[in-house]
Amino acid sequence: MQGDGVKPILHTFALVMTFCLLLSACQSNPGQGEFYVYTDAQGNLVTIEKPLSEQAAEEAKEDSVETVDTIDTIDTSGGDLLSAPLEDYRPSEEIDQELAAKERDRFITYMDESGQLVSRPVDMVAEKEAKNRVEPDYAELSGGDGFLETYRTIRQDCCLHLLDESETLGAGQEILITFAPDSPVLLGDQPFKAKALKFAEDVNSLDLKAFIRKKDYVAAQLLWLDEQGRPLLLVDQPFSRKYPETWYRYGYLQGTFPRESGQRHLVVFLPYQQEQPSTDGLQAVLNGELLLSAQ
């Protein structure tokens, strides 16, 4: 009887010792992972190691929670903002110097004649300075010292009908004048195409540009009128400079002339009724555009 009672006790003791050994193994290997120990449906003792990735995720989550809990909030009402570290602020001179350095640190990449891709630095500040120092690429026309006055027989009421539809131009404004087949004309023996404008009192000078399309342009003349629309002065050649065509714009002729006292209206007209050769190898045409700027 006593021998039969010892066996169950020994069996139970063996299970307890096995469980203790497993717990001791888990505790004696720190850093080797955590274990789940449980008894399954058949009564077997099962041990499973928890994956290290799950441990790291949980530890990271705990660390982030602790970090958030320790962040001090800043009172945006103005009290704590004044105590921010001064090293966060930089003088404007230092920022300007850094921006200038970044402006210089640019590159241009292109394919050379041998087919190789070449990259070289470009000093943008020096490029801009050199562009500003470049002399204007225009050619002086005859009479470049100023505009030419001329004489032509014109009726005193040649332009009264144009004044009713004239636009008023102030200093700093500009207008694109277009000559087309249906443009109004002057009264007189020769119906010249014309456009009338009125100027504000603050206008002191005018700038006129005639665009060159291939070799064609509108060779306009200018007629100044007084307040009542009576002719005062006829300008034969308003252009004094010729600018060549570039890859980004048309070539054009340009002239600048003053506005004298008493000159209130200006009539821009074409003194011909058919296309004809003009100066500098150009062709004067009946349809085209002029840009008039008031200054």
Domain definitions of the chain by residue range:
2-55, 99-133, 139-294
Amino acid in the structure at residue 149: E
Mean pLDDT of 139-160: 68
CB 156 within 8 A of CB 231: yes
**Helices (H) and strands (E) in the chain — how many of each?**
5, 19
Mean pLDDT of 197-216: 91
Mean pLDDT of 272-281: 85
Going through 88-240 in order, the beta strands assigned E by DSSP cover 106-111, 117-122, 139-140, 148-149, 167-169, 174-179, 194-199, 205-212, 216-217, 221-225, 231-237
Given a cut of 70, is residue 53 above it in pLDDT? no
Residue 198 confidence (pLDDT): 93
Per-residue model confidence as pLDDT tens digits over 108-146: 677 776 777 777 776 666 667 766 665 557 677 654 444
Q: Using CA atoms, how far apart are residues 63 and 34, in angstroms rounded to an integer?
A: 19
**With bands split at pLDDT 50, 70 and 90, how would you rate the model's confidence at 9?**
low
Between the two ends of the chain, the Cα-to-Cα distance in Å is 129
Mean pLDDT of 76-97: 62
More confident residue, 63 or 195: 195
Residue 70 confidence (pLDDT): 44
Residue 141, CA atoms < 13 Å, CB-side half-sphere: 21
Q: Which of 2-11, 61-70, 157-166 has the highest mean pLDDT?
A: 157-166
Given a cut of 80, is residue 173 above it in pLDDT? yes
Structure tokens at 124: 């943008």
Q: Model pTM?
A: 0.53
Please choose, from the candidates 256, 231, 225, 266, the residue with its C-alpha nearest in 3D space to the C-alpha of residue 152.
231
User: Across-strand partners of 241?
Assistant: 140, 254
The three-state secondary structure class of 32 is coil
Mean pLDDT of 94-108: 70
Given a cut of 60, is residue 69 above it in pLDDT? no
